[in-house]
Structure 1
């Protein structure tokens, strides 16, 4: 009996740190974004859809082995300001001059990482470098999706400050796992974004503004829902894990009134928008005559592939982690 209990507890802990189980939605979002691209881009991206899909999770794989990767996935806005954060600098150089680069890295840099990755993707389009176009497209999609998760915008990223430990995975993993088949992902065609800095910050602040609802609605539900029905044990592969019950999840899903679906829709649309913006910024290069080059890493990734002891947040940080299959 004790042995079985230990196995259950180990499985429960593992499910929250094993990133290989949290990749479905990032891959789904990147894949769907391709279908919003104009014909001049769609043919190339559709031909490489499996790469864009598979490599949507590369940034998460790098978080524990590449120095400087971890803070690229979030920004703790409430450490610096209260919504709508009008006084917080949007430009990197201004922010760095006020808070220092070390401070900014400590509390996350995802809005600027999106811009930097756009610069890299635009350069890859200019050079007509197929390998880097694919790499940076996949990476950019990941960071954009992460920036649409309300719990990626706060120091209270896993409810640890409000006695709601586990809400991060609940919102971005458990709910999409159970209800994604109800979601609609028709988001229309890609749009050119004239002011990308403003666009990125508008979307991050939109996500941050929903944080209060994410937390307060779950807190409200917790007070009224039978405590002995809040959690359940479910089989995952050969493991038995503790998770939020289907009934509790449904109740939270109803209270959120489409919030998770909407944030996933916005992720799909905005990825397509910014891919398109990079292509336009490069001069609308013809993508039909690109030769394939072996994927190579850009400068600054010299630590990739090495096992390094890098501190990262212990919860599932990946935007929209969905636990579907055995790794």
Structure 2
């Protein structure tokens, strides 16, 4: 049975205590399960290789966020979002569709302020395809795991909106509530089984995903605003013995369990849908990169011993994933640690 000790997170946690409430799209819990389920969705030739490195694919899924806050990599920040409202009121088809066209039209200052997410996904896809052509094992794993993270970000609706934390509508804190508290509380019942991956057009598919995600942003904000207005103020948040609102390790206010249940129910499976779409996207993009690279034999990059050693665990995980379930593994709990 595969487990990850919480002690491995303690050095990282010291850096994260000062981070804003919207630190991770989908939190650690969500990103790690997106990548794990996507690996299990791959066809056998690809799945064998990526499963041999499943621990890396899971842990690396949150490293793009750590680069933002642990080492303050300023170039990393705009890769995780796009504030579509900043680019004008027209349809998304009016925006530069390719990264080359975007970099030619917009200056770096605008992209750094308003986000590069859809174009950076395309950049990563090109690099992953080339790494597969070159048979560069470390590059393949690093790029694929990171690409899974950015696709996860794209499917968090608030990562496509300037109202990213409800700050424009009096709903500050909704970001962490939606993507982390709900996911950690209810995610154990989500079904992460997705279809076999298919070849996609990376440019068209990226914009389709962004459009689908953005369409959900106003919905999740409106539902929460209406629900909050209909709920007594004293019932919105969890409080301690002194009557103070509880906060998690990132200083986010913790909504009360009944209110979280009401919001999750009112969203009608939106959270699960977005996570499943992110999982399917990661599998589709990795598979497409492999096909476009000429279907190289990636399993040959590992020893037979490595593959044989993992075969039993892979079978166990595939059986569980037939029901949309995972083996027992732990993720850093953002909303279990309170102060």
> What TM-score comes out, normalization by structure 1 length?
0.81
Q: Which runs of 5+ in 1 are unaligned?
A: 1-10, 293-320
Q: Quick one: which of 224, 229, 236 aligns to 2:235?
A: 229
Determine whether 1:108 maps to 2:115.
yes
Which residue is 2:105 aligned to?
98
Q: Quick one: which of 222, 227, 231 aligns to 1:216?
A: 222
Task: Give the secondary-structure state (helix, strand or coil) at the position aligned to 2:239.
Answer: strand
2: CA distance between counterparts of 1:152 and 1:260?
A: 14
Is the contact made by 1:159 and 1:168 (CA closer than 8 Å) also made in structure 2? yes
Which residue is 1:71 aligned to?
78
2: CA distance between counterparts of 1:182 and 1:326?
A: 21
Task: After the TM superposition, list the runs of 4 or more consecutive aligned residues in structure 1 that deviate by more than 6 angstroms.
Answer: 11-15, 234-241
Shift of 1:119: 1.1
CA distance 1:206–1:237, change in 2 (3 Å): closer
Is the contact made by 1:124 and 1:132 (CA closer than 8 Å) also made in structure 2? yes
Q: Quick one: which of 279, 294, 307 aligns to 2:290?
A: 279
Shift of 1:17: 6.9
CA distance 1:37–1:94, change in 2 (3 Å): same
Task: Give the secondary-structure state (helix, strand or coil) at the position aligned to 2:176.
Answer: helix
Shift of 1:16: 2.6
Shift of 1:61: 1.1
Determine whether 1:24 maps to 2:29.
yes
Q: Is 28-37 or 63-72 further displaced after alignment? A: 63-72
CA distance 1:108–1:232, change in 2 (3 Å): same
CA deviation map 1:42-83 (0-9, x unaligned): 111111111101111111111133241110000000111337
Larger helix fraction of residues? 2
Determine whether 1:250 maps to 2:261.
yes
1: CA distance between counterparts of 2:18 and 2:203?
A: 38
Which residue is 2:156 aligned to?
149
Determine whether 1:47 maps to 2:52.
yes
1: CA distance between counterparts of 2:129 and 2:19?
A: 39
Task: Give the secondary-structure state (helix, strand or coil) at the position aligned to 1:96.
Answer: helix
Shift of 1:322: 6.2
CA deviation map 1:262-296 (0-9, x unaligned): 0000000110000000111111001122159xxxx
2: CA distance between counterparts of 1:259 and 1:197?
A: 25
CA deviation map 1:203-248 (0-9, x unaligned): 0110001111011111100110111010003788999974111111
Counterpart mapping for 1:1-327 below 5 A: 16=21, 22-64=27-69, 65-82=72-89, 84-193=91-200, 195-233=201-239, 242-290=253-301, 323=334
Is the contact made by 2:27 and 2:179 (CA closer than 8 Å) also made in structure 1? no
CA deviation map 1:77-126 (0-9, x unaligned): 01113374332221233333433232122100011111111111111111
1: CA distance between counterparts of 2:43 and 2:165?
A: 38
CA distance 1:179–1:227, change in 2 (3 Å): same
Task: Give the secondary-structure state (helix, strand or coil) at the position aligned to 1:210.
Answer: helix
Count of matched residue positions in the alignment of Structure 1 and Structure 2? 287
1: CA distance between counterparts of 2:253 and 2:295?
A: 50
Is the contact made by 1:83 and 1:205 (CA closer than 8 Å) also made in structure 2? no
Q: Which runs of 5+ in 2 are unaligned?
A: 1-15, 241-245, 304-331
CA distance 1:118–1:322, change in 2 (3 Å): farther
What RMSD, in angstroms, separates the aligned Cα atoms of the two structures?
A: 2.7
Task: Give the secondary-structure state (helix, strand or coil) at the position aligned to 1:288.
Answer: helix
Q: Which has the higher contact order (CA 8 A, sep 6+)?
A: 1
Q: Is 111-120 or 93-102 further displaced after alignment? A: 93-102
Task: Give the secondary-structure state (helix, strand or coil) at the position aligned to 1:63.
Answer: helix
